[in-house]
Structure 1
Amino acid sequence: MHIVVTGANGFVGQALVASLREARSLAGQPITRLTALDTAFAGAAPAEFERQLAGSIANPASVATAFEPPVDVVFHLASIPGGTAEHNYELARDVNLGGTTLLLEAARAQALRGGRAPVFVFASTIGIFASPLPAQVDDDTPAGPGMSYGAQKLVGEILVSDFSRRGWVDGRSVRLPGVLARPPARTGQMSAFMSDMIRELGAGRPITLPVRPEASTWASSLPSIVDNLLHAASVPAERLGTRRSFTLPTLHFSFAQLVAAIGAVRGEDVSALATWQPEARIEALFGSFPPIVTPAADAAGFRNDGSLENLVRRATQFG
């Protein structure tokens, strides 16, 4: 089995590649080649069956090289995220739209040559939903992205569905919620404060938060996201039916509840360390989330962290 991971040097990508490297198999099939594609790499040398390919998904040559030899599974994680996409439209367009199209066209070309139509796992986003959100989000909630990033991801979902309908890929788009806890490096993620609060409060350090205590959000731990991506690639197509886009099961909670969960895991009350200074735009984007139900994803076998304290433990590895 040949697996390609785009965005392989990113926060989620590194964890996914590490999991595949350790398992050396997916859905019961041995991994003979693992191609990690990103613009640059740092850190440990790859395993003997792993190839690190430095290049952009917006570059046709890089995508063509990634598809040699023929590919069985693509995990498409590479993107220009929210805040950066808003400030650099051309870059986001070229990567989020152009790069996704190039990958799908490479898969189509492979299928038209008589090869396998690859399983194509597309990391989409809850940013495809409109703001303000309805009283509850479910499988029938309409899309209406309020940022270029969400709009570009929604176009990607539509393309994955259409290429699947035509038999060129076996696509599965999964809408990721906030992923915790991201490292402190600035990546353009406007939701980075959520990772910061887990890291800082978890270490007993004060933090100023751009939301009210009662503001609510959705989030999952990094291990939960990796588990769901692997499940997306492994679940039989017949279990998915005609649906190709899934909102992942995630936890819904207030920021005050998250502070309490961090304290419970740390073993002491950390609420006095949090200073609340709401910013209207940040809270509108990341602090006004209603309850969420995901029956289609639940039926397909996707799962959330189970509890907020478990999310904190998995996100920080303390406790």
Structure 2
Amino acid sequence: MRVMVTGANGFVGRELVRRLLEAGELRGQPIEALLLLDRELDGQPDDRRLRRHFGSVTDPALLRRALADGIDVVFHLVSIPGGAAEAQYELGYQVNLQASLELLQQLRSRERPPVLVYASSVAVYGCELSARMDEGQAPNPQLSYAAHKLMVETALNDLARRGEVDGRALRLPGIVARPREPNGLRSAFMSDLLHAYAAGDAYTCPVSPQATAWWMSARCCVDNLLHAAELREPGAERVWQLPVLQLSIAQVLDALAAAYGEARREHIAFAPDAALEALFGRYPPLRTPQARALGFRHDGSAAALLRNALDLSPRRSRAAARKGVSA
């Protein structure tokens, strides 16, 4: 089994690589080679199964070299995030759209259709959402990033219909808790809030306590990516909206207070940005019966989300809460 991960050095990519190496197999076969593709691959483990391919996914020759010895499964994670893609249209166009289409084109020439798991985004729905949503919600992208994601979904569905690429696309929600560093994500406040509260740092949240978002931990995200690759009979529809936790900032703060202590809530202030909240703070309840029937899932609860996102065991959570209350 030969597996490739594009964007292997990213937040989700690193967790996926770790889990693949730990499992040692995929689709019932041992992983003989795990191909990592990214501009930088610092900090990846020293493992004989790893094949490192340094460079940009926009380089067709790099893709050809990486795929030259054959491929069975590809996890296509690399992208320019929404805010950065909007500010730098040409870069977003090259990475998010052109490179993805080139990858699909190279994969369709294989003798046996490889499995491609594509990380799409809930951004395809735009910000004019129904009061209650399900998997039938029509896409209405209002960012270039989202438009490009939808275009790749369409191409993937078409090649799956033709039997040329065994494509599976997952619409991902906000994945937490990303490192506290500039990343071009306008939804970065979701992760920043968790890190600040856990560390007891002062933080000014750019959306109100009433703002609602869709949340998922990186651990749960990787569970779903691996499950998508493992599906034997995915059916005709190859684009799935994952189950999500719909939580308000207030609910997340309550869970943080339960884990780390009520006293730290005093360090959190609010300065809502109306435009940002319109884009990322008005997500309604979302029903996903089709995805659930296929075995996809969310973290389960706000408390479980924090445990998964911050590597906080129940015992450590209780200890941290007691410490926070007495601080």
Give the gaps of 5 or more residues in structure 1.
none
Name the counterpart of 1:272. Answer: 266
Matches within 5 A, 1:45-56: 45-56=45-56
Q: What is the rounded CA distance, in whole Å, between the counterparts of 2:280 and 2:45 in structure 1?
A: 37
Deviations 1:153-182 (A, max 9, x none): 000100110010111111100000000000
Pairing 1:234–2:234 present: no
Q: What letter corresponds to residue 78 of structure 2 in structure 1?
A: A
* CA-CA distance at 1:235 after TM superposition: 1.0
What is aligned with 2:257?
Answer: 263
CA RMSD of aligned residues (A): 1.0
Please report how far the alpha carbon of residue 53 of structure 1 lies from its aligned counterpart in structure 2 after TM superposition. Answer: 0.5
> Aligned residues: percent identity?
45
Match 2:138 to one of 136, 142, 156: 142
User: Per the alignment, in what secondary structure is the counterpart of residue 12 of structure 2?
Assistant: helix
Counterpart residue identity of residue 246, structure 2? H
Conserved in 1, the CA contact under 8 Å of 2:126 and 2:143?
no
* Alignment partner, residue 116 of structure 2: 120
What is the SS of the residue equivalent to 2:108?
helix
SS at structure 1 position matched to 2:286: coil
Structure 1 residue 170 corresponds to structure 2 residue 166: yes
Q: Which moved more, 1:265-274 or 1:143-152?
A: 265-274
The code of the aligned residue for 1:84 comes to: A
- Give the match for residue 191 of structure 1: 187
What secondary structure, in the 3-state scheme, does the structure 2 residue paired with 1:315 have? helix
1:284 is the counterpart of 2:278: yes
* Distance of 1:215 and 1:153 partners within structure 2: 25
Whether the 8 Å contact between 2:242 and 2:291 is mirrored in structure 1 is yes
TM-score under structure 2 normalisation?
0.94
Q: How does 1:1-319 map to 2 (within 5 A)?
A: 1-110=1-110, 115-236=111-232, 238=233, 240-318=234-312, 319=317
**1:269 CA displacement:** 4.6
Contact 1:120/1:170, CA 8 A, preserved across alignment: yes
Distance 2:210 2:311 in 1: 26
Q: Residue 96 of structure 1 aligns to which amino acid in structure 2?
A: N
CA contact (8 A) 1:3 1:73 kept: yes
**Are the aligned partners of 1:260 and 1:269 in contact in 2 as well (CA < 8 Å)?**
no
Q: Distance in 1 between matches of 2:38 and 2:29?
A: 25
Do the aligned residues in 2 keep the contact of 1:33 with 1:50 (CA within 8 Å)?
yes
Cα distance change of structure 1 residues 44 and 4 upon mapping to structure 2, 3 Å threshold:
closer
Question: In structure 2, the residue corresponding to 1:109 is in which secondary structure?
Answer: coil
The one-letter amino acid paired with 2:240 is: F
CA contact (8 A) 2:2 2:32 kept: yes
TM-score, normalised to structure 1, is 0.96
SS of 1:223's partner is: helix
Aligned residue for 2:64, secondary structure, equals helix
What secondary structure sits across from 1:16 in the alignment? helix
Inter-partner Cα distance in structure 2 for 1:68 and 1:194: 40
Q: Which residue of 1 aligns with 2:320?
A: none
What secondary structure is seen at the aligned counterpart in 1 of 2:262? coil
Task: Figure out how many residues of one structure are paired with residues of the other and give that number.
Answer: 313
Gap runs ≥5 in structure 2: 318-327
State the Cα deviation string for residues 266-287 of structure 1 (Å, max 9, x = none): 1435332211110011101110
